[in-house]
Copies of this chain bind each other. A is one copy, B any other.
């Protein structure tokens, strides 16, 4: 192995990796038929004079086969469309009747199961039409083959290696094969819109307020959970070996890999109910933030485990060098993907800021879509993880670019990704239901399955409770016991675990993992999803909270005394809430990044040193001075956080509707900002004054003090 390979996740000794351009097709194979027939006929007609011989019959057979195959493709995709349509109609009925025990994803799975049963037992098995060539190639598999069939040349493209045991199973029910998509479809087509949407729709205010805890849960928690589950499962596997239940190899790294894929929580059901019931926003932020980030962590973690290659023959024992290499790979891929996503987001923000593209929402939306998509491609081209890059791109786009978009583009982009996300998510869950019956290589092992359920329960417990304990030592708003129990309860597994599990089902161990993952997803989505509403009331978690409102001071979800009224010591206390590194970041973001990348924030001329005057004037948009931009809600959400944490400035975007009268307010704010010192008491007064000033105009306000709960 070459040294340069170490930096890449997939640098194991791969055999016969299929060329990428071949993997995509199964997604929309159906879009094809008629065209084919015409093209075929056209080529036949143009070379028609030469075709007046006896080969016409055989060609007809080939054509018919292609036509039949195309028809089956169409029917298989129609099956999924039917499933989704049924799901949509039933969801509507459920929402209409306020049924909350079954979420749309659970429903999609049930319909998938039903159709899976029908396909499995209702369609006749057809004979395979495949052909095994006995010709052997000398050394390696080529990506393209030219095969000479009685004088005509046909081009074949490599699809992948087939394990010898599977060669016979290729001859199977055609319909079952058609509905079994290529696993990479899930990872490369269906996950990106889901993940991007998660990043883009992040409720920034509460997310950033709890950023430290979220990062801890996502990074430390997922790692802890992964190792605990991995080790427990290794015990289970040992037990199975003793009991003679294991018919093939199952290594320690396999167990760790299982720990990684099953550690990606996806509480989509719980969050949907939270959203509907307006449950506590901090709990929502913790759960949502954790699940978004731990998806990314789980991807990179699983690839690092795969990259763990101990030296020598002892390929599955512990090796410190290989371990640290894996850790290095983890850090490298994660930071690389993060940077890639952030950079694309920043570029988009700059483009939308310095052009007047917002006059043409269609162009703006198209640009936004293209730039976000290019993140994925860029990351893939550079050897990073596209899905992770897309997540951070989404967050950056929401944080900066969103502020520069026209009102129409904001709703357009949100809605576009919302629809894509909705379709992709329900497609995955439908497919999961279907896969339980149509997937051909299930390995049901009761011991492994029971062990896995126990392990994920213990893994989640060992992740939530100790981490919450340590976090509470540093947190001002403690995470209460009821919150901890709810987080423990909400450890559902969903699309990401499935996508990671289905990616490779070549070995016996992987097949067992896949089957187990599928059952865990079913169980958690149905049982936990259905139990969310009772659990919420049993744990006394507030519902019906306005996300812009703060919880009342004596809210029982917070165990200690908290911000109990607007007193002068608050600024001080909120500052303590976050570590200095976050405060540093916030003030940097607020003073430099926001003004550079968006139309909001204080003018750079006031925040940059004097010698950068020219640059500052170029970069600051005139709107900041003129206050011609109306107050933007999302913006203010973030400003609230900033006010909460840094208390540096009343923001100069504190205006409304671009009225000329607000100009005075901002100017005076600016004036006061310039003249006053940075001491906290003065800032408190400054902010208080700013508030009063603006509130007297009766516009929607930025209340930097409101966010204190």
Given contacts A14-B40, A78-B377, A93-B355, 12 further A-B contacts (CB under 8 A): A14-B41, A23-B36, A30-B381, A31-B380, A32-B184, A46-B506, A49-B316, A74-B380, A77-B377, A130-B144, A133-B148, A416-B419
Among B74, B251, B504, the residue within 8 A (CB) of A43 is B504
A679 within 8 A of B: no
A13 to B504, CA, bound (A): 41
Q: Which interface residue of A13, A26, A251, A377 has the most chain B CB atoms within 10 A?
A: A13
Q: Is the CB of A51 within 8 A of B13?
A: yes
Q: Which of A218-259 contact B (CB under 8 A)?
A: 249, 251, 253-254, 257
Among B136, B187, B306, B419, the residue within 8 A (CB) of A366 is B419
A161 within 8 A of B: yes
A360 to B29, CA, bound (A): 31
A81 within 8 A of B: yes
Q: Which of A418-445 contact B (CB under 8 A)?
A: 418-419, 422-423
A676 within 8 A of B: no
Q: Is the CB of B157 within 8 A of A15?
A: no
Q: Is the CB of B381 within 8 A of A45?
A: no
Q: Is the CB of A65 within 8 A of B15?
A: no
A143 to B64, CA, bound (A): 12
A567 within 8 A of B: no
Complex interface bits, A140-172 against B, C-beta within 8 A gives 1, otherwise 0:
111111111110111111111111100100100
Q: Which of A480-522 contact B (CB under 8 A)?
A: 503-504, 506-507, 509-510
Among B43, B85, B384, the residue within 8 A (CB) of A371 is B85
Given contacts A85-B367, A133-B146, A167-B153, contact A12 B42 (CB under 8 A): yes
Among B28, B48, B154, B308, the residue within 8 A (CB) of A16 is B154
Given contacts A56-B1, A60-B1, A380-B74, contact A153 B164 (CB under 8 A): yes
A563 within 8 A of B: no
Shortest A205–chain B CB gap in Å is 23
Shortest A231–chain B CB gap in Å is 18
A701 within 8 A of B: no
Which B residues lie within 8 Å of A156 (CB)? Answer: 145, 156-159
A147 to B302, CA, bound (A): 31
Q: Is the CB of B38 within 8 A of A9?
A: yes
A5 to B41, CA, bound (A): 12
Q: Is the CB of B381 within 8 A of A415?
A: no
Q: Is the CB of B129 within 8 A of A146?
A: no
Count chain A residues whose beta carbon lies closer than 8 angstroms to a beta carbon of B.
174
A343 within 8 A of B: no
A195 within 8 A of B: no
A267 to B48, CA, bound (A): 35
| Interchain Cβ contacts under 8 Å between A and B, 22 examples | A10-B39, A11-B41, A13-B59, A14-B37, A20-B29, A20-B30, A24-B26, A24-B28, A30-B381, A31-B377, A34-B384, A37-B383, A42-B506, A46-B510, A66-B143, A67-B383, A70-B380, A132-B145, A132-B146, A133-B145, A152-B161, A155-B162
A189 within 8 A of B: yes
A585 within 8 A of B: no
A139 to B154, CA, bound (A): 13
Complex interface bits, A636-680 against B, C-beta within 8 A gives 1, otherwise 0:
000000000000000000000000000000000000000000000
Q: Is the CB of B48 within 8 A of A89?
A: no
Q: Is the CB of B30 within 8 A of A152?
A: no
A303 to B41, CA, bound (A): 9
Q: Which interface residue of A39, A67, A170 has the most chain B CB atoms within 10 A?
A: A39
Q: Is the CB of A188 within 8 A of B254?
A: no
Q: Is the CB of A143 within 8 A of B155?
A: no
A630 within 8 A of B: no
A150 to B140, CA, bound (A): 8
A313 within 8 A of B: yes
A21, closest chain B residue (CB): B29
A369 within 8 A of B: yes
Q: Is the CB of A133 within 8 A of B144?
A: no
Which B residues lie within 8 Å of A363 (CB)? Answer: 88, 91-92, 95
Among B69, B132, B147, B359, the residue within 8 A (CB) of A133 is B147
Q: Is the CB of A415 within 8 A of B418?
A: no
Among B17, B75, B81, the residue within 8 A (CB) of A36 is B17
A82 to B187, CA, bound (A): 24
Shortest A165–chain B CB gap in Å is 10
A55 to B161, CA, bound (A): 15
Q: Is the CB of A12 within 8 A of B306?
A: no
Shortest A5–chain B CB gap in Å is 8
Given contacts A135-B135, A504-B43, contact A23 B32 (CB under 8 A): yes
Q: Which of A278-325 contact B (CB under 8 A)?
A: 302-303, 306-309, 313, 315-316
Q: Is the CB of A15 within 8 A of B62?
A: yes
Shortest A85–chain B CB gap in Å is 6
Q: Is the CB of B29 within 8 A of A66?
A: no
